[in-house]
Amino acid sequence: TPLVEMEGISKIYQTGTIALQDVNLRIPEGEFVSFVGPSGCGKSTIFRLIAGLGDPTSGTMRLMGMDPADARKQSDISFVFQDATLLPWCKVIDNVTLPMELRKIPKQERIDKAMHVLEMVGLQDYAHALPRQLSGGMKMRVSIARALASEPKLLLMDEPFGALDEMTRQTLQDELLGIWQKDKKMTVLFVTHNVFEAVYLSTSIVVMSARPGKIAETISVPVPFP
């Protein structure tokens, strides 16, 4: 069964904006799918529907072959946004463990997992630093670590590297690819304005068009790592 399945999904906001019209999408487990298209074509709306922030106006959606609400209860869906939103008064490690605390994961396990993901993104030495002591790229790394700590089935990333300089962007792209390749079970959905980034990272690219938001085409990218 596909991990994400949308059939005839439309979303009309209360303002009357038709954000999505008749979107059909099937994403198999383990794929890395990039979404590209002009501003306002509905990329964020698709992500919000998957995350459960709002319901579609019409159409059917299944996650992991289940009703979306059940799927969200049973397995983890993590989000990373463009602006790495860390709690400024909490140390790096506390920012990473907080979502696990909300899920009632025992303390020692939270700390072990947090240190493991911080190591993956090269920030183990900054566990006890405060966010303001970190650069923008390092904050984004913490944000990625936090999303990965709960070992999500599905990782939604909405332009995560948009605000970073080119060097940092490339480093983080490679870190993300490494993590995704290691754990073939994680599915990544990724919004980017950068077509080169989409080609570099993805197994397939969903190209959208606006007014109304639709999927124009889906392109398979040849496997980057044989």
Residue 44 interacts with ligand ADP (CB under 6 A): yes or no: yes
Task: Please pick, from the candidates 21, 42, 68, 123, the single residue that binds ligand ADP as defined by CB under 6 A.
Answer: 42
| H-state helical runs in the chain | 43-51, 68-74, 92-102, 107-120, 136-149, 166-182, 195-201
Task: Please pick, from the candidates 7, 8, 13, 178, the single residue that binds ligand ADP as defined by CB under 6 A.
Answer: 13
Residue 204 interacts with ligand ADP (CB under 6 A): yes or no: no
Closest approach of ligand ADP to the CB of residue 26, in Å: 20
Separation CA 135–CA 114 (nearest Å): 20
82 token code pair: 């463009």
Residue 68 interacts with ligand ADP (CB under 6 A): yes or no: no
Q: Which of 41-49, 93-101, 142-150, 171-179 is the region at the interface with ligand ADP (rule: CB under 6 A)?
A: 41-49
Residue 17 interacts with ligand ADP (CB under 6 A): yes or no: yes
162 token code pair: 């948009």
Q: What are phi and psi of 161, to 5 degrees?
A: -105, 10
Q: Which is nearer to ligand ADP, 17 or 204 (CB)?
A: 17
Separation CA 157–CA 44 (nearest Å): 10
Residue 209 interacts with ligand ADP (CB under 6 A): yes or no: no
Cis upstream peptide for 68 (omega within 30°) = no
Q: Which is nearer to ligand ADP, 33 or 179 (CB)?
A: 33
Closest approach of ligand ADP to the CB of residue 11, in Å: 8
For the chain, the residue count is: 226
Residue 45 interacts with ligand ADP (CB under 6 A): yes or no: yes
Using DSSP, state whether 9 is helix, strand or coil.
Answer: strand
Applying CB under 6 A, which residues contact ligand ADP? 13, 15, 17, 19, 39-45, 213
